[in-house]
Amino acid sequence: MKEVELTDPYTIPYRGIYVVCDEENKNAEIIEHTNCYSGAAWSRFHYARSPLIQQARAVGDMTRYLMSTGACDLSLQPSVAAAGIESVVVEGDEVSITYAGLGGGGVGATKCRAFAQGVLRYEVSESGGGKAAKGTIVVPRRERVLIGIDDTDTKEEGATWSMTHNIATALNCNESVYLSHSLVQLFPVSAKTQNCVSTVLEFGCVSKEAKEELLENLEAALLKYSVSDETGMVVLSSFEASKMEEYSTMCRSGELTKDIAMEHAQKNGVDVRLGGNGVIGALASLAWFARPDESVDLEAKL
Protein backbone atom coordinates (compact mmCIF):
# COMPACT_ATOMS: atom_id res chain seq x y z
CA MET A 1 0.00 0.00 0.00
CA LYS A 2 1.31 3.42 -1.00
CA GLU A 3 0.86 6.22 1.53
CA VAL A 4 -0.01 9.53 -0.11
CA GLU A 5 1.81 12.60 1.23
CA LEU A 6 0.58 15.97 -0.02
CA THR A 7 2.31 19.23 0.78
CA ASP A 8 -0.84 21.25 0.04
CA PRO A 9 -3.89 19.09 -0.75
CA TYR A 10 -6.13 22.07 -1.63
CA THR A 11 -3.95 23.88 -4.16
CA ILE A 12 -3.49 22.86 -7.81
CA PRO A 13 -0.92 25.25 -9.30
CA TYR A 14 -1.55 26.54 -12.79
CA ARG A 15 1.24 26.06 -15.32
CA GLY A 16 1.21 29.67 -16.43
CA ILE A 17 -0.80 32.92 -16.29
CA TYR A 18 -0.21 35.52 -19.00
CA VAL A 19 -1.87 38.82 -19.92
CA VAL A 20 -1.75 40.36 -23.39
CA CYS A 21 -2.88 44.00 -23.71
CA ASP A 22 -3.79 46.28 -26.57
CA GLU A 23 -1.78 49.44 -27.23
CA GLU A 24 -4.06 51.67 -25.18
CA ASN A 25 -4.48 49.17 -22.30
CA LYS A 26 -8.26 49.30 -22.74
CA ASN A 27 -8.58 45.61 -23.53
CA ALA A 28 -6.66 42.62 -22.24
CA GLU A 29 -6.68 38.87 -22.68
CA ILE A 30 -5.92 36.72 -19.67
CA ILE A 31 -4.54 33.36 -20.78
CA GLU A 32 -4.44 30.66 -18.12
CA HIS A 33 -2.55 27.41 -18.69
CA THR A 34 -4.13 24.89 -16.37
CA ASN A 35 -3.07 21.60 -14.77
CA CYS A 36 -6.68 20.60 -14.06
CA TYR A 37 -9.15 21.11 -16.89
CA SER A 38 -12.28 20.53 -14.81
CA GLY A 39 -11.24 23.17 -12.29
CA ALA A 40 -10.59 25.58 -15.16
CA ALA A 41 -14.01 24.73 -16.61
CA TRP A 42 -15.66 25.62 -13.28
CA SER A 43 -13.81 28.93 -13.23
CA ARG A 44 -14.72 29.68 -16.84
CA PHE A 45 -18.43 29.03 -16.15
CA HIS A 46 -18.52 31.40 -13.17
CA TYR A 47 -16.04 34.02 -14.37
CA ALA A 48 -17.90 34.43 -17.67
CA ARG A 49 -20.57 36.28 -15.70
CA SER A 50 -18.14 38.99 -14.59
CA PRO A 51 -19.08 42.34 -16.18
CA LEU A 52 -15.54 42.94 -17.44
CA ILE A 53 -15.41 39.75 -19.50
CA GLN A 54 -16.26 40.04 -23.19
CA GLN A 55 -15.55 36.41 -24.07
CA ALA A 56 -14.44 33.27 -22.25
CA ARG A 57 -13.31 30.16 -24.12
CA ALA A 58 -11.08 27.13 -23.89
CA VAL A 59 -8.34 26.40 -26.41
CA GLY A 60 -6.85 23.04 -25.55
CA ASP A 61 -5.67 23.18 -21.94
CA MET A 62 -5.69 26.97 -21.90
CA THR A 63 -8.56 29.25 -20.88
CA ARG A 64 -8.68 32.64 -22.56
CA TYR A 65 -10.61 35.58 -21.09
CA LEU A 66 -11.03 38.58 -23.39
CA MET A 67 -11.68 41.50 -21.05
CA SER A 68 -12.12 45.21 -20.64
CA THR A 69 -9.61 46.61 -18.18
CA GLY A 70 -10.74 48.36 -15.01
CA ALA A 71 -12.79 47.31 -11.98
CA CYS A 72 -16.37 46.19 -11.41
CA ASP A 73 -18.75 45.17 -8.64
CA LEU A 74 -19.50 41.45 -8.63
CA SER A 75 -22.88 40.09 -7.62
CA LEU A 76 -21.73 36.80 -6.11
CA GLN A 77 -24.26 34.01 -5.61
CA PRO A 78 -23.60 30.47 -4.42
CA SER A 79 -23.61 27.81 -7.15
CA VAL A 80 -24.51 30.10 -10.06
CA ALA A 81 -22.03 32.99 -9.76
CA ALA A 82 -19.76 31.95 -6.92
CA ALA A 83 -16.58 33.62 -8.16
CA GLY A 84 -15.39 36.18 -10.64
CA ILE A 85 -12.68 38.54 -11.82
CA GLU A 86 -13.21 41.84 -10.04
CA SER A 87 -10.51 43.94 -11.69
CA VAL A 88 -7.75 44.00 -14.28
CA VAL A 89 -5.49 47.01 -13.79
CA VAL A 90 -2.52 47.91 -16.00
CA GLU A 91 0.24 49.98 -14.42
CA GLY A 92 3.36 50.46 -16.49
CA ASP A 93 4.77 47.08 -17.42
CA GLU A 94 2.65 45.12 -14.91
CA VAL A 95 -0.95 43.90 -14.75
CA SER A 96 -2.82 43.18 -11.50
CA ILE A 97 -5.74 40.73 -11.57
CA THR A 98 -8.09 40.50 -8.58
CA TYR A 99 -10.23 37.39 -8.12
CA ALA A 100 -13.17 37.34 -5.71
CA GLY A 101 -15.34 34.47 -4.53
CA LEU A 102 -17.57 33.05 -1.84
CA GLY A 103 -16.32 30.56 0.72
CA GLY A 104 -12.71 31.31 -0.05
CA GLY A 105 -13.19 31.11 -3.82
CA GLY A 106 -11.18 34.27 -4.38
CA VAL A 107 -8.34 33.09 -2.17
CA GLY A 108 -8.36 29.60 -3.64
CA ALA A 109 -8.32 31.04 -7.15
CA THR A 110 -5.33 33.20 -6.27
CA LYS A 111 -3.36 30.49 -4.50
CA CYS A 112 -3.77 28.11 -7.44
CA ARG A 113 -2.47 30.80 -9.77
CA ALA A 114 0.15 32.33 -7.48
CA PHE A 115 2.93 29.87 -8.31
CA ALA A 116 2.29 29.68 -12.03
CA GLN A 117 4.94 30.66 -14.54
CA GLY A 118 4.71 34.37 -15.26
CA VAL A 119 3.39 35.47 -11.86
CA LEU A 120 5.55 38.11 -10.18
CA ARG A 121 3.81 38.30 -6.78
CA TYR A 122 0.44 37.87 -5.07
CA GLU A 123 -1.60 38.74 -1.98
CA VAL A 124 -4.76 37.23 -0.46
CA SER A 125 -7.36 38.15 2.15
CA GLU A 126 -8.74 35.97 4.92
CA SER A 127 -11.14 33.27 3.82
CA GLY A 128 -13.52 30.71 5.21
CA GLY A 129 -17.20 30.05 5.77
CA GLY A 130 -19.66 31.78 3.49
CA LYS A 131 -18.02 35.19 3.40
CA ALA A 132 -16.47 36.68 0.30
CA ALA A 133 -12.71 36.72 -0.12
CA LYS A 134 -10.28 38.24 -2.58
CA GLY A 135 -6.85 37.66 -3.96
CA THR A 136 -4.62 39.50 -6.42
CA ILE A 137 -1.82 38.31 -8.68
CA VAL A 138 0.60 40.55 -10.58
CA VAL A 139 2.02 39.51 -13.95
CA PRO A 140 4.07 41.23 -16.67
CA ARG A 141 2.19 43.18 -19.34
CA ARG A 142 2.65 41.52 -22.72
CA GLU A 143 1.92 42.41 -26.33
CA ARG A 144 0.80 39.90 -28.93
CA VAL A 145 3.13 38.86 -31.75
CA LEU A 146 1.70 36.78 -34.59
CA ILE A 147 4.03 34.90 -36.95
CA GLY A 148 2.69 33.34 -40.15
CA ILE A 149 4.82 30.68 -41.85
CA ASP A 150 4.43 28.58 -45.00
CA ASP A 151 6.43 26.62 -47.56
CA THR A 152 9.20 25.21 -45.39
CA ASP A 153 8.82 21.75 -46.94
CA THR A 154 8.81 19.96 -50.30
CA LYS A 155 6.67 17.16 -51.68
CA GLU A 156 9.35 14.71 -50.53
CA GLU A 157 10.48 16.10 -47.18
CA GLY A 158 9.45 18.24 -44.23
CA ALA A 159 6.26 19.44 -42.51
CA THR A 160 5.70 23.10 -41.69
CA TRP A 161 3.23 22.55 -38.85
CA SER A 162 5.48 20.24 -36.82
CA MET A 163 8.74 22.09 -37.41
CA THR A 164 7.23 25.45 -36.44
CA HIS A 165 5.78 24.00 -33.25
CA ASN A 166 9.12 22.50 -32.28
CA ILE A 167 10.94 25.77 -32.98
CA ALA A 168 8.36 27.76 -31.00
CA THR A 169 8.64 25.34 -28.07
CA ALA A 170 12.42 25.68 -28.10
CA LEU A 171 12.13 29.51 -28.04
CA ASN A 172 9.43 29.66 -25.35
CA CYS A 173 10.61 31.68 -22.34
CA ASN A 174 9.31 34.11 -19.72
CA GLU A 175 10.10 37.11 -21.91
CA SER A 176 8.43 35.65 -25.03
CA VAL A 177 5.89 33.02 -24.10
CA TYR A 178 4.52 30.65 -26.75
CA LEU A 179 0.73 30.91 -26.56
CA SER A 180 -0.82 29.11 -29.52
CA HIS A 181 -0.31 27.30 -32.82
CA SER A 182 -2.93 26.97 -35.57
CA LEU A 183 -2.87 25.00 -38.80
CA VAL A 184 -4.71 26.99 -41.47
CA GLN A 185 -6.24 25.17 -44.41
CA LEU A 186 -5.77 27.07 -47.67
CA PHE A 187 -7.26 26.72 -51.13
CA PRO A 188 -5.53 23.69 -52.77
CA VAL A 189 -3.42 25.52 -55.34
CA SER A 190 -1.38 23.82 -58.04
CA ALA A 191 1.93 24.51 -56.29
CA LYS A 192 0.92 22.84 -53.01
CA THR A 193 3.12 20.15 -51.48
CA GLN A 194 0.31 17.92 -50.21
CA ASN A 195 -2.47 19.43 -48.08
CA CYS A 196 -1.88 23.18 -48.63
CA VAL A 197 -1.76 24.21 -44.97
CA SER A 198 0.05 27.18 -43.43
CA THR A 199 0.78 27.88 -39.75
CA VAL A 200 0.38 30.84 -37.41
CA LEU A 201 2.27 31.06 -34.12
CA GLU A 202 1.20 33.36 -31.29
CA PHE A 203 3.62 34.73 -28.69
CA GLY A 204 3.22 37.20 -25.82
CA CYS A 205 6.30 39.42 -25.45
CA VAL A 206 7.15 41.68 -22.52
CA SER A 207 9.17 44.22 -24.53
CA LYS A 208 10.27 45.28 -28.02
CA GLU A 209 13.72 43.86 -27.25
CA ALA A 210 12.23 40.48 -26.36
CA LYS A 211 10.15 40.51 -29.54
CA GLU A 212 13.10 41.30 -31.78
CA GLU A 213 15.25 38.61 -30.17
CA LEU A 214 12.42 36.11 -30.66
CA LEU A 215 11.99 37.01 -34.34
CA GLU A 216 15.71 36.89 -35.07
CA ASN A 217 16.03 33.47 -33.46
CA LEU A 218 12.92 32.12 -35.14
CA GLU A 219 14.01 33.36 -38.57
CA ALA A 220 17.44 31.80 -38.10
CA ALA A 221 15.86 28.48 -37.11
CA LEU A 222 13.62 28.51 -40.18
CA LEU A 223 16.60 29.12 -42.43
CA LYS A 224 18.43 26.29 -40.69
CA TYR A 225 15.69 23.66 -40.87
CA SER A 226 13.58 24.60 -43.89
CA VAL A 227 14.05 22.33 -46.90
CA SER A 228 12.38 24.76 -49.31
CA ASP A 229 13.71 27.80 -51.15
CA GLU A 230 10.28 29.44 -51.03
CA THR A 231 9.76 29.82 -47.27
CA GLY A 232 7.55 32.70 -46.20
CA MET A 233 7.62 34.28 -42.73
CA VAL A 234 5.47 37.29 -41.87
CA VAL A 235 4.94 39.12 -38.57
CA LEU A 236 2.01 41.12 -37.24
CA SER A 237 2.41 42.81 -33.86
CA SER A 238 -1.19 43.49 -32.92
CA PHE A 239 -3.77 42.71 -30.25
CA GLU A 240 -6.15 41.41 -32.92
CA ALA A 241 -5.89 40.55 -36.61
CA SER A 242 -9.29 41.46 -38.05
CA LYS A 243 -7.68 43.59 -40.75
CA MET A 244 -6.28 40.38 -42.27
CA GLU A 245 -9.64 38.64 -42.53
CA GLU A 246 -10.43 39.85 -46.07
CA TYR A 247 -7.12 38.63 -47.45
CA SER A 248 -7.38 35.33 -45.59
CA THR A 249 -10.84 34.68 -47.04
CA MET A 250 -9.49 35.40 -50.53
CA CYS A 251 -6.60 32.99 -50.02
CA ARG A 252 -8.91 30.25 -48.74
CA SER A 253 -11.26 30.74 -51.68
CA GLY A 254 -8.92 30.77 -54.68
CA GLU A 255 -5.36 30.99 -55.98
CA LEU A 256 -3.53 34.29 -55.36
CA THR A 257 -0.26 35.68 -56.64
CA LYS A 258 2.71 36.73 -54.52
CA ASP A 259 2.27 40.31 -55.76
CA ILE A 260 -1.24 40.43 -54.28
CA ALA A 261 0.09 39.06 -50.98
CA MET A 262 2.85 41.65 -50.80
CA GLU A 263 0.38 44.46 -51.50
CA HIS A 264 -1.82 43.33 -48.60
CA ALA A 265 1.20 42.93 -46.32
CA GLN A 266 2.32 46.49 -47.00
CA LYS A 267 -1.20 47.91 -46.70
CA ASN A 268 -1.78 46.27 -43.32
CA GLY A 269 1.60 46.86 -41.71
CA VAL A 270 2.77 43.25 -41.82
CA ASP A 271 6.53 42.72 -41.65
CA VAL A 272 7.78 40.26 -44.28
CA ARG A 273 10.85 38.56 -42.80
CA LEU A 274 11.25 35.79 -45.38
CA GLY A 275 9.86 36.60 -48.80
CA GLY A 276 9.50 33.34 -50.71
CA ASN A 277 6.21 32.30 -52.32
CA GLY A 278 5.21 31.01 -48.89
CA VAL A 279 4.31 34.62 -48.06
CA ILE A 280 0.96 33.99 -49.78
CA GLY A 281 -0.15 31.34 -47.32
CA ALA A 282 1.74 32.74 -44.34
CA LEU A 283 -0.17 36.02 -44.62
CA ALA A 284 -3.49 34.19 -44.77
CA SER A 285 -2.80 32.37 -41.50
CA LEU A 286 -2.58 35.49 -39.30
CA ALA A 287 -6.33 36.00 -38.90
CA TRP A 288 -6.74 32.49 -37.48
CA PHE A 289 -4.47 32.71 -34.44
CA ALA A 290 -5.73 30.79 -31.40
CA ARG A 291 -8.54 29.21 -33.45
CA PRO A 292 -7.08 25.78 -34.28
CA ASP A 293 -10.39 23.91 -34.23
CA GLU A 294 -11.85 26.19 -36.90
CA SER A 295 -8.80 27.01 -39.01
CA VAL A 296 -8.44 23.43 -40.27
CA ASP A 297 -11.90 23.62 -41.91
CA LEU A 298 -11.82 25.32 -45.32
CA GLU A 299 -15.53 26.12 -44.90
CA ALA A 300 -15.09 27.91 -41.55
CA LYS A 301 -15.84 31.62 -41.54
CA LEU A 302 -13.96 34.34 -39.71
pLDDT digits (tens, 9 = 90+) for 184-216: 999 887 655 556 899 999 999 999 999 999 999
Parallel/antiparallel/unpaired status of strands 197-205 and 176-185: antiparallel
Q: What is the pLDDT of residue 190?
A: 64
Q: Which of 5, 10, 6, 15 is nearest to 111 (CA)?
A: 10
Average pLDDT over every residue of 34-63: 94
* 267 pLDDT above the threshold of 80: yes
- Model pTM greater than 0.75? yes
Q: Which of 198, 197, 181, 185 is nearest to 289 (CA)?
A: 181
What separation in angstroms does the CA of 240 have from each of 21, 144, 177, 199, 294? Answer: 10, 8, 17, 17, 17
Using only C-alpha atoms, what is the Rg of the chain?
Answer: 21
* 127 pLDDT above the threshold of 60: no
* 49 pLDDT above the threshold of 80: yes
What separation in angstroms does the CA of 35 have from each of 8, 11, 61? Answer: 15, 11, 8
Instruction: List the domains of the chain with CATH numbers.
Output: 16-140 (no CATH), 143-296 (3.30.70.2200)
Q: What is the pLDDT of residue 207?
A: 98
Q: Which of 228, 219, 221 is nearest to 153 (CA)?
A: 228
The number of beta carbons lying within 10 Å of the beta carbon of residue 181 is 19
Average pLDDT over every residue of 69-78: 88
Q: What is the pLDDT of residue 83?
A: 87
